[in-house]
Structure 1
Amino acid sequence: MCLTISTVLTHQHHGIHHVQRFSPDNDVSGNSGIAREDVEPPQSTTIAPEQKQPTHIDYQLVLLVPGFPTAYLKLQEHRICWLIPALCHACSTMQEQVDRLVEKTWEKFQHVSRSQRLMVGVSGIPGSGKTTLAAKVSYGLNKKHAQTSPGTYNGNPVAAFIPMDGYHLSRAQLDAMPDPQTAHARRGAAFTFDAEKFLALVKKLREPILPETRTLYAPSFDHAKKDPVADDIPIAPSVRIVIFEGNYCSLNHGPWKEAADLMDELWFVDVDFQVARQRLIHRHVKAGIARNEEEAAKRADENDLVNGQEILSSRQEVHEVVKSKEDPEWAPEQQGVGDGRD
């Protein structure tokens, strides 16, 4: 059970008021709590656009008990909106959120053609925990595949987890930039990744899977050498679900947007900046990237969280927002220390 402060949001399209709605009827798909527009509210709640209404915005405390949807009408900015909060995902533990996403993705996968892949892009600011989320969902999907399809499993994973780390520009490439000092200092920013190469793989994975389709390869990142390793992650034709993970999987411009538009789902891991900052400081020191907490804090403030601001300000619409919480299984040392770029 949790207490949340909720506001109701609406938007206008071609002069018609569309009412956003939360539906309790889609627990299987995992879309509970996601705004929908496919069902109109009762006629008695409809207000003509020209009818004048109070202009204030008020807030309402709504007590949400999972499993017991609460329906209410709410007046805000000239409109009445109808909400049915079906499930309070903010109350879920990290593992519960993972389990829900596994179920949702598996259900969606059942409707994917045998010649196609289901692709998900997971993004978030550095330190949000997106790497752990993507890895755990991928693991959960493979476990479910083994349990539900033992005859076709044969040890071959149905899901693959592809980190964006492998698309870092190499140190040699950073050296060749007009301002190599800034390029190295800002490593992890969008301009220090090979976005075109990332897009090329996404496009290739979007092609139909045919009998002659060969294994594709994605690059990984060698944290000891601090450089990418080409063709290190195999993606066999039997891999039908691909979970991409990286800062810029939902960016709304350039090749990043082209890649995002090819995804079946976009997820965003939401975290408080101060929580992310503390995780990054811990990680940078543990990984040996920074000699002490002061140096780690400087790195987080001047690079990681600067990138985080761009990620937030340039994020396009996503299908899922996962709330990152403090969880022993999601501690910094469990999220991968690497180059501090989670």
Structure 2
Amino acid sequence: MSESESLPYVDELAARARSLATPGGPRRVLGVAGPPGAGKSTLARRLVAALDGLAALVPMDGFHLADAELARLGRADRKGAPDTFDAYGYAALLARLRAPRHPGETVYAPAFERELEQPVAGSLPVPPDVPLVVTEGNYLLLDEEPWSTAVRPLLDAVWWVAVDDRLRVERLTARHVAFGKSPAAARAWVRRSDEANARRVASGRQRADLVVDLDTGTTHTPPDA
């Protein structure tokens, strides 16, 4: 999904998200999950914009390990896999967002700078009067530790973004080219890394509270949810 594409049902989704955002009540966290390139970031941004001050966006991507650490660990060639994130650090931030330690506290979250391909600490402020945090990432519904035990319990609801795989792969390839890879290198990275991660998270769709199907413009609840 590009920034120019419309989401005709964003008002419906925003109404669902608004039901979680109770000013003056306990802060809640809504997760947006799905495979790489599904359109999670765009949907999350539009939800936050539609909620007009009731929500803040805190992406999981801010918890990418730095390239130097990935190189030390021997994981640089599969950056984006579950073990290339600081999952426990992400969980700790979610817990702090749900229950800030000090009255009136603004909580600062890291962002991921695409041009640098690196996380940047303290980039995203979450003011104390914001009742809902929207967080998005590939692994929110991954049925593996620590994601299933440390992260998922901190999310009040998780939505799964579904889209045609061919379109999703095209988007991923274009994204890698836009940020410096050659077309051939981008296609190779998508086949080897991004699609391996997509297969790994695919079963999370059945564990979602809501599936947002971008191909049909519809939403539904998975049978086992």
Aligned to 2:38: 128
| Alpha-carbon separation, structure 2, partners of 1:265 and 1:123 | 10
User: Is the contact made by 2:108 and 2:124 (CA closer than 8 Å) also made in structure 1?
Assistant: yes
| Alpha-carbon separation, structure 2, partners of 1:298 and 1:312 | 21
The question of 1:193 aligning with 2:85 is answered yes
| Alpha-carbon separation, structure 2, partners of 1:256 and 1:270 | 20
| Alpha-carbon separation, structure 1, partners of 2:216 and 2:35 | 16
User: Is the contact made by 1:168 and 1:193 (CA closer than 8 Å) also made in structure 2?
Assistant: yes
The question of 1:173 aligning with 2:85 is answered no
- Whichever structure has more helix as a proportion of its residues is 2
| Alpha-carbon separation, structure 2, partners of 1:158 and 1:205 | 14
* Structure 1 SS opposite 2:51: helix
The question of 1:96 aligning with 2:8 is answered yes
The Cα offsets for residues 50-103 of structure 1, whole Å up to 9 and x where unpaired, read as xxxxxxxxxxxxxxxxxxxxxxxxxxxxxxxxxxxxxxxxxxx95233211101
User: Is the contact made by 1:116 and 1:208 (CA closer than 8 Å) also made in structure 2?
Assistant: no
User: Which residue identity is paired with 1:195?
Assistant: A
User: Is the contact made by 2:30 and 2:135 (CA closer than 8 Å) also made in structure 1?
Assistant: yes
TM-score by length of 2: 0.86
Measure how far apart 1:173 and its partner are: 0.9
Aligned to 1:269: 161
| Alpha-carbon separation, structure 1, partners of 2:38 and 2:82 | 17
User: Which residue identity is paired with 1:277?
Assistant: V
Question: Percent identity, aligned pairs only?
Answer: 36
User: Is the contact made by 1:138 and 1:159 (CA closer than 8 Å) also made in structure 2?
Assistant: yes
The question of 1:260 aligning with 2:152 is answered yes
The structure having more radius of gyration, on CA atoms, is 1
| Alpha-carbon separation, structure 2, partners of 1:123 and 1:98 | 16
Unmatched segments (≥5 aa) in structure 2: 218-225
Measure how far apart 1:318 and its partner are: 1.1
The Cα offsets for residues 17-55 of structure 1, whole Å up to 9 and x where unpaired, read as xxxxxxxxxxxxxxxxxxxxxxxxxxxxxxxxxxxxxxx
Measure how far apart 1:228 and its partner are: 0.9
| Alpha-carbon separation, structure 2, partners of 1:319 and 1:117 | 19
User: Is the contact made by 1:115 and 1:209 (CA closer than 8 Å) also made in structure 2?
Assistant: no
Name the count of aligned residue pairs.
212
User: Is the contact made by 1:122 and 1:266 (CA closer than 8 Å) also made in structure 2?
Assistant: yes
The question of 1:141 aligning with 2:37 is answered no
The Cα offsets for residues 136-171 of structure 1, whole Å up to 9 and x where unpaired, read as 0010011xxxxxxxxxxxxxx221011111100001
The question of 1:246 aligning with 2:137 is answered yes
Aligned to 2:215: 325
| Alpha-carbon separation, structure 1, partners of 2:19 and 2:65 | 36
User: Is the contact made by 2:29 and 2:135 (CA closer than 8 Å) also made in structure 1?
Assistant: yes
Aligned to 1:5: none
1:159-308 residue pairs with structure 2 within 5 A?
159-177=55-73, 180=74, 183-207=75-99, 212-257=103-148, 258-288=150-180, 290-292=181-183, 294-308=184-198
Aligned to 1:20: none
Considering Cα pairs closer than 8 Å and 6+ residues apart, tell me whether 1 or 2 has the greater RCO.
Answer: 2
TM-score by length of 1: 0.58
Measure how far apart 1:287 and its partner are: 2.1
